[in-house]
Amino acid sequence: MFNLFPVTTVIAWIAGLYTAAVLMISLLLGISGVASLETAFKGVAVLNLVLLSMAIGGWRVLWRIVPKLNDWIFPDLNGKWAVEIHWNWGEKSGAKTATAFIKQNLLKVSIELSSDESESETLMVLPHKDSQSSRPGLYYIYRNIGLANAENKQDPHIGAAILKVSQESNSLLRGNYFTDRSTNGQYTMCREAN
């Protein structure tokens, strides 16, 4: 999610706001010199703690307090998702159900998907927003490995999907996928209630 921010602009704004805050506090308290530096270093420590807590999980609290951040920045996609997979493999096609767990923080997103036949592990997930509509989505690259006890054991394969968050709800993802074994299809993912 962090890649959605213009990092240099964010850093410049934080630095500028911090500088303005230190100057105002110094003027209001009538301090200068070493005392002003001491105030600045105390402020840096507090600012670092605030930024660290936001990176660890505080952002989710902020997203709950200000739900509009789901639209303005990027939705919180954390949770368990019911997945319906429609697949095509040569002349064959079918449907499969699976379960996915999406884990997201300010720095990364992962999707762990499993069915009765296989498990997929994340190689890369890149959150993005459409340049025209600002609709959020995920570029998802994964490795799928068949389970040893599966009825239809499959060879491992690599796949990629472009998943888009529904315009009606942040609890619905849809998108197409394809794999290195010439299969393709569609994912529909619905977040399960907690």
Q: What is the CATH number of the domain that holds 168?
A: 2.40.128
Looking at residue 21, what is its pLDDT?
Answer: 77
Shared domain check, 85 and 25 = no
Shared domain check, 114 and 24 = no
Measured CA to CA, the distance from residue 191 to residue 101 in angstroms comes to: 9
Token pair in block for residue 91: 């002349």
Q: What are residue 118's DSSP bridge partners? A: 146
Looking at residue 100, what is its pLDDT?
Answer: 97
Shared domain check, 100 and 63 = no
The model's pTM is 0.77
Looking at residue 94, what is its pLDDT?
Answer: 94
Token pair in block for residue 38: 């001491």
**Which of 72, 95, 116 is the last residue in one of the domains?**
72
All residue ranges of the chain with pLDDT < 50 are none
Shared domain check, 129 and 160 = yes
Token pair in block for residue 137: 């989505």
Shared domain check, 144 and 86 = yes
H helices present in the chain, as ranges: 7-29, 34-53, 59-65, 69-72
Count of domains observed in the chain = 2
Shared domain check, 84 and 65 = no
Domain extent for 35:
2-72
Structural contact between residues 124 and 141, judged by C-beta atoms closer than 8 angstroms: yes
Looking at residue 31, what is its pLDDT?
Answer: 74
Measured CA to CA, the distance from residue 147 to residue 38 in angstroms comes to: 59
Shared domain check, 85 and 64 = no
Q: Residue 184 class from Cβ within 10 Å (0-12 exposed, 13-18 middle, 19+ buried)?
A: middle
Shared domain check, 67 and 91 = no
